[in-house]
Structure 1
């Protein structure tokens, strides 16, 4: 499952510098081999269970990466400082229900902030800074009781800021 996730992420992004192409080698099948991939941290060394996927600052391009629903064990997703564009998937909370940290800052994501992010009950950090997101901050964000940091600066947002419960 996790290998399928990483393969689809690798295939769905444009990788001009070849960072993922060169470091994500699926030919090696020794236990824990994916834990040595650039940006991949595993729960335990030698176990193919990904804790975090931190592929920020790699010059990656294209729409939001595909296949992340197969990375169900991931708790930290960092796609910051790349050139991703287009919408954030409306079903992101179904794809990655256990995220505690989501950093999509410094990209070119556009459209509205998905309302169902409010279903990510474990989310502590949400960074959407410096994109082209528009519309309002979903009022349902008040349901994110574990949220300790949120940054939506430098977007095209309008409307009220939801108050905390």
Structure 2
């Protein structure tokens, strides 16, 4: 929250100084000026608190959704990551091994296949990395909150 606090405090400090300049035109005594500063600080603190609560509630909602997806008993969802890894391997093998071999031996058109797009490589490598980290964590028996989110295991499940 440090970055957001810096961003909002920078904006609010310039707002405070602008409002203070306007208020100085109408407030004549030091007592009124101090009361005004206290009330402004309270209002700003309340607004920053509301913003922080909103951000935290959004974070909790995202975490609850992710946790619900990982803890469900649907076999397809639990196997989706390995299936995507295997599908990616199949696409790589087909594109860079099967079709070139077939085109050489069967005298099929020798036009080169288009390379797999960068989006494929970025998405597939991210999925592979996450799956490998999760499987490694399962094998060494790590059971902290992060590894449970990556592996999809509930804290009460036996690792093995």
Report the TM range for the smaller structure's normalisation. under 0.3
Greater percentage in strand: 1
Structure with higher Rg: it is 2
Provide TM-score, normalisation by structure 2.
0.21
Please give the TM-score of this superposition, normalised by the length of structure 1. Answer: 0.21
The one of the two structures with greater contact order (alpha-carbon pairs below 8 A, sep at least 6) is 2
